[in-house]
Amino acid sequence: MPVSERTGEQVLSDSESLPSQCVKNLVTVVIPTWNGKRFLTGVLDSIAIQTYPQVEVIVVDNGSKDGSVEFMRENYPFVKLALYEKNTGFAVAVNRGIRESTGEFIALINNDTVLEANFIEELVKGMHEHPECGSLGCKMLAYDDHTLLDGVGDGYRRGGLPGRIGHREKDTGLFDEGRYILGACGGAALYRRSLFLDIGLFDDDYFAYLEDVDIALRAQSAGYKCFYIPTARIYHLGCGTTGSGYSPLVVKLSAQNNWNTIVKNIPMPLLIKWLWEIFFWQGYYLAVVCVRGGQVLPWIQGSLKALMFLPRMLGKRAAINKKRKVTLKYFEEVIVQSENDLSAARERLYKNKETETSSGRK
């Protein structure tokens, strides 16, 4: 059945196509790629030297025209390839990899990353130590400057605007302790197979951006926690395939999925309670993309696409509500804490910039 013809419950129940049988303790690494040949050596070489012994690797190629497939076939025979003729987006690609996986655990890894040798081992250890968690996050550092954090987990505001906690902060040791977070960044995360079997896979309608925040909210609603593992370290370039954070494509998809995520995941009492925050933060995002990138048209296009998706998202919302196992109070507390983490990180970043500016004037 084409995606456009599926009901909300049918889309969320795609986990029925995921085999429940798996190899215990095996980690399936799923890497989506599209014209990313220049990144593949870094990520695949770092996976080949992992200290954890039970690993299978599936690379889902979204119709690359840069010789990626031929390059992997020639140089990385341990990689299982899943091929598309055209770019299907992040969500569809990783879902394909998840369905073809055989591991008890599934790691999603961006193609523009390099893993430390004990990365997978530390995450698997974390899974055994935290059975209450459906997913785990890691310490992501900047590819071009290993002293800078790329993020330590996904954050989400009551107004429906996501963010990465610690993004572009100096790695001074503040995030050297494990802690619960809202969700893991989909560019470097470990999931239990059982999580996907319960709540479904990533939302194909998202194409790219916020699909990890969406599944984090769905998981939290269904009673699955997420824990940050600071000893699992990975280096990430960021926007390696789709361009800068304010390109027309990024802005269009982000605007569209901001609205989709709100509609799908925020319970009605909280939706009413947070109405002002929603208007404020979505307006704030529009202002930012206008000032920094002049991308008002892509924002409008994305918002209109979200409006077209509204009936479908409402169907998915109903399916998510049926699976909710936590109280509204808990769900609210998780999001508020996440928002506080983002605010604190932003304040530290601005304070450090002011300090550097003042030092430069002396």
Q: Over the stretch 301-344, which tens digit does the pLDDT of each residue have?
A: 999 999 999 999 999 999 999 999 999 999 999 999 999 999 99
* Sign of the dihedral defined by the CA atoms of residues 226, 227, 232, 234, in that order: positive
* Residue 102 burial by Cβ neighbours in a 10 Å radius (0-12, 13-18, 19+): middle
Strand, helix or coil at 66? coil
Mean pLDDT of the residues in the chain: 92
Give the pLDDT confidence score for residue 357 in this predicted structure.
65
What span, in angstroms and rounded, lies between the C-alpha atoms of 233 and 139?
A: 5
Q: Tokens at residue 34, please?
A: 């599209």
The answer to whether the beta carbons of residues 22 and 102 sit under 8 Å apart is yes
- At 359, is the pLDDT very low, low, confident or very high (cuts 50, 70, 90)? low
The answer to whether the beta carbons of residues 196 and 98 sit under 8 Å apart is yes
pLDDT surpasses 50 at 268: yes
What span, in angstroms and rounded, lies between the C-alpha atoms of 133 and 350?
A: 33
- At 11, is the pLDDT very low, low, confident or very high (cuts 50, 70, 90)? very low
Q: What is the CATH number of the domain that holds 305?
A: 3.90.550.10
Give the pLDDT confidence score for residue 350 in this predicted structure.
83
pLDDT surpasses 80 at 145: yes
- Domain coverage including residue 211: 1-362
Average pLDDT score over residue span 232-241: 79
pLDDT surpasses 90 at 243: no
- At 10, is the pLDDT very low, low, confident or very high (cuts 50, 70, 90)? very low
Q: What is the pLDDT of residues 161-214, one digit of tens each?
A: 999 999 999 999 999 999 999 999 999 999 999 999 999 999 999 999 999 999
Q: Tokens at residue 313, please?
A: 């998202």
Give the pLDDT confidence score for residue 351 in this predicted structure.
84
Give the pLDDT confidence score for residue 17 in this predicted structure.
83
Strand, helix or coil at 356? helix
- At 5, is the pLDDT very low, low, confident or very high (cuts 50, 70, 90)? very low
Give the pLDDT confidence score for residue 9 in this predicted structure.
46
- At 360, is the pLDDT very low, low, confident or very high (cuts 50, 70, 90)? low
Give the pLDDT confidence score for residue 298 in this predicted structure.
95
What span, in angstroms and rounded, lies between the C-alpha atoms of 47 and 41?
A: 10
Q: What is the pLDDT of residues 83-94, one digit of tens each?
A: 999 999 999 999
> How many residues are there in the chain?
362
* Sign of the dihedral defined by the CA atoms of residues 275, 281, 282, 283, in that order: positive
- Percent of the chain beyond pLDDT 70? 91
The answer to whether the beta carbons of residues 266 and 223 sit under 8 Å apart is no
Give the pLDDT confidence score for residue 361 in this predicted structure.
58
Strand, helix or coil at 80? strand
Average pLDDT score over residue span 66-94: 97
- At 294, is the pLDDT very low, low, confident or very high (cuts 50, 70, 90)? confident
pLDDT surpasses 70 at 25: yes
The number of domains in the chain is 1
Give the pLDDT confidence score for residue 16 in this predicted structure.
64
Give the pLDDT confidence score for residue 259 in this predicted structure.
98
Strand partners, 226: 135, 181
Q: What is the pLDDT of residues 26-64, one digit of tens each?
A: 999 999 999 999 999 999 999 999 999 999 999 999 999
Average pLDDT score over residue span 89-117: 97
**Residue 228 Cα to chain centre, angstroms:** 14
pLDDT surpasses 60 at 239: no
Rg (C-alpha) for the chain, rounded Å, is 20
Q: ∠ at Cα 257 (220, 40), nearest 5°?
A: 85
Helix intervals (H) in 6-131: 8-12, 37-48, 68-75, 90-99, 119-129
Locus of tokens 């370290």: 233
